[in-house]
Structure 1
Amino acid sequence: MVVYLPSLTLFCHSLWTKKMSAAAALFVFMCLTATTYADHHQPCHSPNMTGLMSVMSFKGEMKALGAFTYDSMGKKLRFRSNESQPTNTSLGLDLLMFFDEGIFYEIDSKNQSCEKKKLQMALHPLDIPDDAKLYSTVNSGSASIEGEGLKVNVWTGSMPQIKGHYSMSVTMGCLPVTTMYFSETTPFLFRNMEVDLEIKDPDLLVVPSFCHGQPVEDTPEGTINSFLNEFM
């Protein structure tokens, strides 16, 4: 049976009152007009992926735009921004994340250098946390016209380390489409595009030779290293 969930409307309305950018407001509009289905699932886990990722603040500022490679089994992520898709306002980042090992590298291929750091938080926008809660199932666009809609599960959860929360829209095949992160600092919107279900270049997930033997840098007290914090 198709139902409209009042809680989803209240959730979207609360986001609207935060005076978000046009991108976030569009998401809110989709929430308000969506048809939702009451359902209960356990979080799925994303497959291997190669694609493009954009990061935008709710003020409309493009923080980063670049290519990613994700190994879902090995829990490895490479993200390189402002290379194949350069923009004047985006950050130039080259990050190699090893989530299971709790470390990551900030790579500078041009200068053949890198920094090796500890990960204090493994949360990232390409996989659903095990403790995420299913908020709703949403049809964005039209469910009755072929090719004019997308059905997604909306997963939500908290981020106690940075005093925030998140909302992830994930396809029925477990591909994250958009993720919104809300914290005490600037909220962010992550979008994944042009996704292929394969690792096209496995070498991107290998530590470059000039990083071998690099010591782990000391983390200043109070600092939280994570994929998300690279954009804050």
Structure 2
Amino acid sequence: MYAAITLFVFMCLTATISADHHHPCHSPNMTGVMSVLSLKGEVKAVGAFTYDSMGKKLRFKSNESHPMNTSHGLDVLMFFEEGKFYEIDTKNKTCEKKTLHCPMHPLDIPDDAKFWSTINSGSASIEGEGLKLNVWGGSMPDKKGHYSMSVTMGCLPVSTFYFTESNSFLFTIMEVETEIKDPELLVLPSYCVGQPVEETPEGTVNSFLNEFM
């Protein structure tokens, strides 16, 4: 499986398709399930997410409604425009407020992404047995890596590969509904209000991706 994934990404990275007529789209509001798999075979997290595309907010809660033998539980609320995020512990009613250094995440195509190709997952000739996807990609200079993002024609994310020098991950998006089913999930809990920003150790880059490293 990993050899096939590597070959697919290599093909995308070496594509020379002209992207003059393609422009990155932006995902709508979404509620769904996200899984995070290390390409070493470790399931890092599986959980529910809520994404506000206009407000640039994301809540991800793992190991709650979708319990699995994952490496760690995680509950984060990301405010991408403000450049801040919170690691939340609802059981103990505590949270940590941190500076968000990189706004990249697997639910929206970056503005500087490059169009690589259009592919058909499954069968294009059998009705109901295929899914047409646009593949976008780009570099991650801060991590000396690359990413490859597959989205539907309606700009719903399906999967994103992140390849870096130290770690590689596959994010898979499932059970998507184009609405915010519970707006309260994107509201900062009262016990987090007024929380001071924690100091970031020198050399650390805080991002959604880094939460799984």
Q: Shorter-chain-normalised TM-score: which range? A: over 0.9
Tell me the distance in 2 between the aligned counterparts of 1:135 and 1:177.
16
Tell me the distance in 2 between the aligned counterparts of 1:214 and 1:142.
51
Distance 1:163 1:27, change over 3 A: closer
Residue 194 of structure 1 corresponds to 175
Matched pairs, number: 207
**Amino acid in structure 2 at the alignment position of 1:105:** Y
TM-aligned CA deviation for residue 38 of structure 1: 7.2
Tell me, yes or no, if structure 1 residue 48 matches structure 2 residue 29: yes
TM-aligned CA deviation for residue 161 of structure 1: 1.1
Tell me the distance in 2 between the aligned counterparts of 1:119 and 1:163.
19
Tell me the distance in 1 between the aligned counterparts of 2:194 and 2:166.
35
What is the RMSD computed on CA atoms of the aligned residues?
A: 1.8
Q: Which secondary structure state, in structure 2, belongs to the residue aligned with residue 161 of structure 1?
A: coil
Alignment partner of 1:227 out of 201, 208, 211? 208
Residue 217 of structure 1 corresponds to 198
TM-score by length of 2: 0.92
Q: Which secondary structure state, in structure 1, belongs to the residue aligned with residue 142 of structure 2?
A: helix
Structure 1 residue runs of 5 or longer lacking an equivalent are 1-21
**Amino acid in structure 1 at the alignment position of 2:191:** F
TM-score by length of 1: 0.85
Tell me the distance in 1 between the aligned counterparts of 2:147 and 2:127.
30
Q: Identify the structure with the greater helix proportion.
A: 1
TM-aligned CA deviation for residue 24 of structure 1: 6.7
Residue 103 of structure 1 corresponds to 84
Tell me the distance in 1 between the aligned counterparts of 2:173 and 2:210.
18
Q: Relative contact order: is structure 1 or structure 2 higher (C-alpha 8 Å, sep ≥ 6)?
A: 2
Moved over 3 A (4+): 26-32, 37-40
Structure 2 residue runs of 5 or longer lacking an equivalent are 12-16
Tell me, yes or no, if structure 1 residue 182 matches structure 2 residue 172: no
Is residue 9–residue 148 contact of structure 2 (8 Å, CA) maintained in 1?
A: no
Residue 143 of structure 1 corresponds to 124
Tell me the distance in 2 between the aligned counterparts of 1:107 and 1:202.
17
- Quote the sequence identity (%): 73
TM-aligned CA deviation for residue 89 of structure 1: 2.4
Residue 122 of structure 1 corresponds to 103
Q: Which secondary structure state, in structure 2, belongs to the residue aligned with residue 215 of structure 1?
A: coil
Q: Deviations over 1:114-151 (max 9, x none)?
A: 00000010000000000000000011111111111110
Is residue 180–residue 189 contact of structure 1 (8 Å, CA) maintained in 2?
A: yes
Is residue 162–residue 170 contact of structure 2 (8 Å, CA) maintained in 1?
A: yes
